[in-house]
């Protein structure tokens, strides 16, 4: 996500999109509520042309329903939005975001609008865009959206360039994000994507998880919870040892390939499943990728090995038939399976990540002048604040350290 100040004009190239006429406040007031016409509400409104490139504005009703559903699970963002509505910390800023265009993202960008920002949004993956969500954002919520599901590669990159014409600030690497988003969110939703695409029974199956990082451990945990026998592959000895001590079997991919019935890559690297591994797999092996890019499974090698390809044997499932008749099932064309075949992370998970990003933007807006150039870490206090908001929403209380405890923890004079 990037932020630019002040918000004078859309970024270069922005005007190339299809303009969408949306009810928008005259001046910098909060965005119109869904369904609010130009005359609704006490403030004077004008019709404002918002640049956009979306599939079909007529999908806005379905998108609004989807966004409203995600809002219900977004307790953190709702609390942040209330704060933003009164404090307007993003007044005069233009925020450009490159994110999966889903209902959960919509809750975030609505929150940024409530803080006073103009928002430009491009899809971070060509297959994950929800066209109905994009339509609602562009036509009802005053967001400049550049996202259409299934666009070709040049259009995908054009959309990103149309939006990301600003200096970049990274707001993605926080403790809450790693834990809730990568581990719990990916863990559940990757399994969800595989089940939706195949309806396979995981109990008793041998599931190979490549990479035991934040995402891989979540996937491995959930697969095991459903009764699968999980094998982990790793290149990092510490992570591999962690997996062994968690009771998982660790093998090199070459040894795991003939054993696995479901393969899930979550490494952030390329060719983790390569030609030799594919050639050794069992009939019916399912291949799914949870990593960000479609490079973890060597798709060119898979295509090269196939004597026949049966695309769409189920939705998001393509069958590659090898010369000896074995069938390998590739899910979601090797792209992020949880976003393509399911709906990405549950809204409650994205609520935490996006709540953090919204607060980071508020912090940036207040502190930008004093910050030296470069990429900055998210202040630890914001991470803790997000966790506190979520705990409050869950009505979960925790202990406060006493003064004696604080002194003890901060000192090396006590104890023996
Ligand atoms: N699908 C989603 O919703 C989602 C969410 C967050 C992150 N991601 C993506 O998932 C990927 C992993 O993210 P992470 O946060 O778990 O990263 P991470 O760095 O915590 O973990 C990656 C792990 O993969 C291991 N690894 C690297 N190359 C390997 C190889 N050839 N074989 C086996 N293991 C290998 C690393 O040693 C590391 O332990 C990234 O591409 C990330 O962008 C996806």
Whether 122 and 94 share a structural domain: yes
What is residue 45's predicted lDDT score, i.e. its pLDDT?
Answer: 44
Is 361 or 332 the better-scoring residue by pLDDT?
Answer: 332
Distance CA 333, CA 316 (A): 7
What is residue 41's predicted lDDT score, i.e. its pLDDT?
Answer: 31
What is residue 178's predicted lDDT score, i.e. its pLDDT?
Answer: 77
Whether 218 and 322 share a structural domain: yes
Is 120 domain-assigned? yes
290: Cβ below 6 Å to ligand 1?
Answer: yes
182: Cβ below 6 Å to ligand 1?
Answer: yes
Is 413 domain-assigned? no
| Nearest-atom index, ligand 1, CA of 178 | 15
**Residue of the nearest CA to atom 38 in ligand 1?**
213
Is 100 domain-assigned? yes
How many structural domains does the chain have? 2
Whether 322 and 353 share a structural domain: no
36 CA distance to ligand 1 centroid (A)? 43
300 CA distance to ligand 1 centroid (A)? 21
The answer to whether residue 198 scores a pLDDT higher than 50 is yes
Is 408 domain-assigned? no
Whether 147 and 189 share a structural domain: no
State the pTM of this model: 0.76
298: Cβ below 6 Å to ligand 1?
Answer: no
pLDDT classification of 42: cutoffs 50, 70, 90: very low
- Write the pLDDT tens digit of every residue in 346-383: 888 888 888 888 998 888 888 877 777 667 788 888 88
Structure tokens at 402: 């006493």
- Write the pLDDT tens digit of every residue in 232-282: 999 999 999 999 999 999 999 999 999 999 999 999 999 999 999 999 999
292: Cβ below 6 Å to ligand 1?
Answer: yes
What is residue 164's predicted lDDT score, i.e. its pLDDT?
Answer: 65
- CATH number at 134 reads 3.40.50.1480
229 CA distance to ligand 1 centroid (A)? 20
Strand 144-146: give its sheet, edge to edge. 2-4, 94-99, 118-123, 144-146
211: Cβ below 6 Å to ligand 1?
Answer: yes
Is 176 or 250 the better-scoring residue by pLDDT?
Answer: 250
Whether 96 and 119 share a structural domain: yes
Whether 352 and 332 share a structural domain: no
Is 119 or 415 the better-scoring residue by pLDDT?
Answer: 119
Whether 161 and 191 share a structural domain: no
Whether 12 and 101 share a structural domain: yes
- Write the pLDDT tens digit of every residue in 303-313: 999 999 999 99
The phi, psi pair for 110, rounded to 5°, reads: -65, -40
Is 171 domain-assigned? no
The best mutation among 292, 338, 347 to test binding of ligand 1, ranked by most ligand atoms within 8 Å of the C-beta, falls on 292
The answer to whether residue 1 scores a pLDDT higher than 90 is no
> By residue range, what is the domain housing residue 267?
177-340
Whether 302 and 192 share a structural domain: yes
Is 293 domain-assigned? yes
The mean-pLDDT minimum among 38-52, 223-237, 297-311 falls in 38-52
The answer to whether residue 22 scores a pLDDT higher than 90 is no
How many residues are recorded in the chain? 416
Whether 19 and 161 share a structural domain: yes
- CATH number at 257 reads 3.40.50.720
**Residue of the nearest CA to atom 39 in ligand 1?**
213
The answer to whether residue 35 scores a pLDDT higher than 50 is no
Whether 327 and 192 share a structural domain: yes
Whether 354 and 313 share a structural domain: no
The answer to whether residue 408 scores a pLDDT higher than 80 is yes
267: Cβ below 6 Å to ligand 1?
Answer: yes
265: Cβ below 6 Å to ligand 1?
Answer: no
pLDDT classification of 150: cutoffs 50, 70, 90: confident
């Amino acid at each position: 996500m990037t932020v630019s100040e002040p918000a004078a004009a859309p970024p270069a190239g922005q005007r190339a999109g299809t303009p969408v006429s949306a009810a928008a406040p005259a001046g910098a007031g909060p965005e119109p509520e869904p369904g609010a016409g130009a005359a609704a509400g006490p403030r004077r409104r004008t019709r404002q042309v918002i640049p956009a490139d979306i599939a079909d504005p007529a999908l806005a009703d379905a998108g609004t329903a989807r966004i409203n559903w995600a809002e219900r699970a977004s307790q953190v963002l709702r609390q942040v939005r209330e704060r933003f509505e009164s404090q307007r910390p993003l007044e005069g800023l233009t925020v450009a975001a490159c994110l999966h265009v889903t209902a959960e993202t919509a809750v975030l960008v609505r929150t940024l609008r409530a803080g006073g920002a103009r928002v430009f949004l491009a899809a971070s993956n060509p297959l994950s865009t929800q066209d109905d969500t994009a339509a609602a954002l562009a036509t009802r919520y005053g967001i400049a959206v550049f996202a259409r599901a299934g666009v070709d590669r040049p259009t995908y990159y054009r959309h990103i360039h149309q939006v990301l014409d600003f200096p970049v600030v990274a707001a993605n690497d926080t403790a809450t994000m790693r834990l809730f988003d990568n581990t719990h969110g990916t863990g559940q939703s990757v399994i969800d994507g595989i089940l939706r695409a195949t309806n396979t029974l995981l109990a008793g199956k041998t599931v190979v998880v490549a990479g035991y990082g934040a995402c891989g451990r979540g996937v491995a945990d959930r697969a095991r919870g459903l009764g699968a026998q999980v094998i982990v592959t790793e290149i990092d000895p510490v992570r591999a040892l962690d997996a062994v001590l968690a009771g998982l079997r660790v093998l090199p991919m070459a040894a795991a390939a003939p054993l696995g019935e479901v393969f899930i890559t979550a490494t952030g690297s390329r060719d983790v499943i390569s030609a030799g591994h594919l050639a050794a797999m069992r009939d019916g092996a399912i291949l799914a990728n949870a990593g960000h890019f479609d490079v973890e499974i060597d798709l060119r090698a898979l295509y090269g090995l196939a004597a026949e390809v049966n695309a769409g044997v189920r939705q998001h499932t393509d069958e590659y038939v090898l010369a000896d008749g074995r069938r390998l099932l590739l899910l979601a064309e090797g792209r992020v399976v949880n976003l393509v075949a399911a709906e990405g992370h549950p809204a409650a998970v994205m609520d935490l990540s996006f709540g953090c990003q919204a607060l980071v933007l508020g912090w940036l807006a207040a502190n930008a002048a004093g910050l030296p150039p470069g990429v900055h870490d998210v202040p630890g206090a914001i991470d803790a604040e997000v966790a506190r908001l979520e705990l409050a929403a869950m009505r979960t209380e925790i202990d406060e350290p006493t003064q004696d405890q604080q002194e003890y923890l901060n000192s090396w004079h006590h104890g023996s």
